[in-house]
Amino acid sequence: MRKRNLIIVSNRLPVTFRQVNGTLSLTPSSGGLVSALEGFLTSSKVKEQHGINKIIWIGSTESDERQWKQASRKISSHHFRYIPVFIGRELYDNYYDGFSNSTIWPLFHYFPSYSEYKSRDYDAYAEVNRLFMQAVLRTASPNDIIWVHDYHLMLLPQMVREKLPEANIGFFLHIPFPSYELFRLLPKEWRESLLRGLLGADLVGFHTLDYASHFHKSAHMLLGADEEMGIIKFENRLIAADVFPVSIDYRKFFEAFDDSKVAALRQDLKKQCGERKIIFSVDRLDYTKGVKQRLLAFRHFLNKFPEYHEKVVFLLLIVPSRDTISKYTESRQEINELVGHINGTFGNVGWQPVVYQYKSVDFSNLLAYYTGSDLALITPLRDGMNLVSKEFVASRKDKRGILILSEMTGAASELNEALIINPTDKEDVSAKIKLALEMDEAEQSRRISTMQRRLSDYDVVCWGYEFLRRLEQIKNEQQSLNVRVLSPGIFRELLKDYRNASKRLLMLDYDGTLVPLARHPQLAAPGETLFRIIHQLSDDVKNTVFIISGRTRTFLEKWFNNLSVNLVAEHGALLRFNNEDWKMPASDHKEWKDTARQVMLSCSRRCAGSFVEEKEFSLAWHYRNSEAELGELRSLELFNELNHLFRTYPVQVVKGKKVIEVRNMGFDKGSAALRIKGLDAFDFILAIGDDSTDEDMFRALHGSFAWTVKVGKDASLAKYNLVDSRDTVSLLNSLTRF
């Protein structure tokens, strides 16, 4: 394998600069993103597993160019090469404190009322994303892997894609992706640009299935992008949007239990707390972390269970973060007041119920807290994943300790043996604190061990590996689905195949393939030329011609009755071979039609120009004559409503070109193609179609020698593409010459 570089792009580089007495000091940054990435990137396996030469980390820095040069020797790391992005102070504030943390962060964490919508901030966000793009372009070679991280850089994948169309780009979102109802609160231009930005990647990763589904829905509702099995089709590209729950460096936390420094600090802690049980929590200062709710629940616990007075101590560690944003300073004030209130009410000379620290601590101290406490109380109101909970579990080599965890964290879906709580329910939280404090050791051990097994099986190296493997996979899938226009050379080969064959099968879709789409289905009549061509082709004894369409049998009979063509009507619900009687392979239950019709008619009333077409086995709602944007919006609503309505019913809702169709389950153009008698005996097969319903036909023929041709420039399972129906007619005309 040719070696390539892995380029990590995140808002900040993982080192923080401080100017102390004229000299620069450097400290590692803390926070979930850095913990996760460093855990993965510093593993010895990474380079070898992915054929990586160098790991390059691009990120902004608070230093200026001069300081950077001065300190660059100090920050060289044997793991990474750092590429700094320098951003002016004001621009950075508007991008970071502004759009990233006062618009996106609160909205994506379900605090919409905290979100501010300022054009100045959005413009700064776009500008900073452009600066990152320039840094990526200066650094990346075509074969490199570019892995962009988090909500600060959502426009970046698309910006890079425009300049490097073939680049390998992955994006991982470390925070939740909110439900469509929240995401749509963003002004139209912003929300569309953010989605387009993300869809510029080849792979978009989320922590949970919920976040991925929210993203699919927003991309569908706002950009009309279709998703199937985690793959989104958008503007001729395939993008995977998948789930990769971030993990931790399990062994590092597990082994730290026996580290001599950690053990000594743990002893100190236990000595200071005496017989008292220790409740511990650590978070960055953030209103999403539910610290206020945690303190309220602890106060409730002390009120309700006085027998625990003087028997517990709550170590509350808050790491300073974003304290230039007013919501954060307010949150800090609230914490101060509540801690003061609890200690003032319940404390005494010998007992301080809450020991509050507002600072960051080093790894050994953090591990002494994890391993020295009796229970970890983790209560975010919303958290993408929450690594603290996983780290606490991993560090308990002694198999002791209980985790109380909010159901609003991504981690809750993996750590099922924790005591799961709703952070706003102080009754529940205080009851669970009591339960935890009284839990016997065997039960603690059983719970911790089960969670530890899960974390060690899927650690942060697996997480990164799975992400990069999926990225490679989707690149391969893209290649096999690339648009391939039927060039003159290939066209000559097709003609040669046709000429040499003695038993040929032609399967032709009608609307959009043989004739252009008309304003109303009834107006799409075959012209004289087309009629002559079909006539000639079907008269040739070597040929078997099928018109394979979504049209009704009445329509097809009207135009093709006198020719020796075979007909497939209503996408395969009805078949007619050699002018015999119509056969009906599909079940003919139709009781769903009244309900579907009502829903479609109601949609038509709210979308001028649209209409309902009644067929025997299906109902179609057409919106090709409606105002484009309204039509798309209504079609998405209708599609979702019908899917929801018939979710347990044997009908399928299908989206075609400017049409939504409901039809009985169990047949499509693919199964119709496979029902053609003696399919194996043909030595030339040509299938042409333009719509998503024709993909079933292409799928059925995939891997065979058949010539499959898609009309239009969309990516398709067909081997080749033609531009429009005029090209189909000209291709068929050429066949009549042999």
Binding site for ligand GDG (CB under 6 A): 30-33, 35-36, 174-175, 246, 282, 284, 319, 360-363, 366, 383-388, 391
Amino acid at the residue 194: L
Could you say which DSSP state residue 176 is in?
A: P
The answer to whether 259 is a known catalytic residue is no
Smallest separation (angstroms) from ligand GDG to the CB of 31: 4
Which residue stretches of 104-165 are H helix? Answer: 105-108, 119-139, 156-163
Residue 603, burial from CB neighbour count under 10 angstroms (0-12, 13-18, 19+): buried
Closest CA to 685 of 658, 708, 652, 718: 708
CB closer to ligand GDG out of 382 and 432: 382
How many CA atoms lie within 13 Å of 321's alpha carbon, on the beta-carbon side? 18
Q: Report yes or no: 686 and 506 within 8 Å, Cβ to Cβ.
A: yes
Could you identify the residue written with the tokens 């002893």? 267
* Radius of gyration in angstroms for the set of CA atoms belonging to the chain, rounded to a whole number: 31
Smallest separation (angstroms) from ligand GDG to the CB of 303: 29
CB closer to ligand GDG out of 91 and 361: 361
Smallest separation (angstroms) from ligand GDG to the CB of 366: 5
Smallest separation (angstroms) from ligand GDG to the CB of 277: 22
Could you identify the residue written with the tokens 């209103």? 287
CB closer to ligand GDG out of 357 and 595: 357
**Alpha-carbon span 667 to 603, nearest angstrom:** 26
CB closer to ligand GDG out of 206 and 592: 206
How many CA atoms lie within 13 Å of 428's alpha carbon, on the beta-carbon side? 13
Q: Residue with the closest Cβ to ligand GDG?
A: 32
Residue 120, burial from CB neighbour count under 10 angstroms (0-12, 13-18, 19+): exposed
Smallest separation (angstroms) from ligand GDG to the CB of 102: 16
CB closer to ligand GDG out of 315 and 638: 315
Smallest separation (angstroms) from ligand GDG to the CB of 119: 27
Smallest separation (angstroms) from ligand GDG to the CB of 356: 14
Q: For every residue of 650-679, which 3-state class applies, written as one string?
A: CEEEEEECCEEEEEECCCCHHHHHHCCCCH
CB closer to ligand GDG out of 411 and 586: 411
Smallest separation (angstroms) from ligand GDG to the CB of 189: 27
End-to-end C-alpha distance for the chain, whole angstroms? 48
Catalytic residue among 150, 202, 459, 509: 509
Helix, strand, coil shares, percent, the chain, to 5? 45, 20, 30
Amino acid at the residue 52: I
Which residue stretches of 646-691 are H helix? Answer: 669-674
Quote the tokens at residue 615.
């067929």
Which residues on adjacent β-strands are paired with residue 178?
none
Q: Is the dihedral of CA 382, 386, 389, 392 positive or negative?
A: negative
Q: Report yes or no: 324 and 332 within 8 Å, Cβ to Cβ.
A: no
Q: Report yes or no: 378 and 281 within 8 Å, Cβ to Cβ.
A: yes
Q: Is the dihedral of CA 484, 490, 495, 496 positive or negative?
A: negative
CB closer to ligand GDG out of 380 and 656: 380
Smallest separation (angstroms) from ligand GDG to the CB of 442: 29
For the beta sheet containing 611-614, the strands, ordered from the edge strand earlier in sequence to the opposite edge, are 611-614, 618-622, 659-664, 651-656
CB closer to ligand GDG out of 452 and 708: 452
Number of residues that this document lists for the chain:
738
CB closer to ligand GDG out of 297 and 385: 385
Residue 680, burial from CB neighbour count under 10 angstroms (0-12, 13-18, 19+): exposed
Could you identify the residue written with the tokens 């005029």? 726
- 515-523: long-range contacts, CB 8 A cutoff, minimum separation 24: 515/725, 516/724, 516/725, 517/624, 517/657, 517/658, 519/624, 519/625, 520/611, 520/625, 521/551, 521/555, 521/613, 521/622, 522/555
Task: Tell me how far CA of residue 532 lies from CA of 171, 259, 494, 540, 690, in angstroms.
Answer: 53, 86, 21, 13, 22
Smallest separation (angstroms) from ligand GDG to the CB of 218: 20
CB closer to ligand GDG out of 241 and 366: 366
Just list the catalytic residues.
Answer: 509
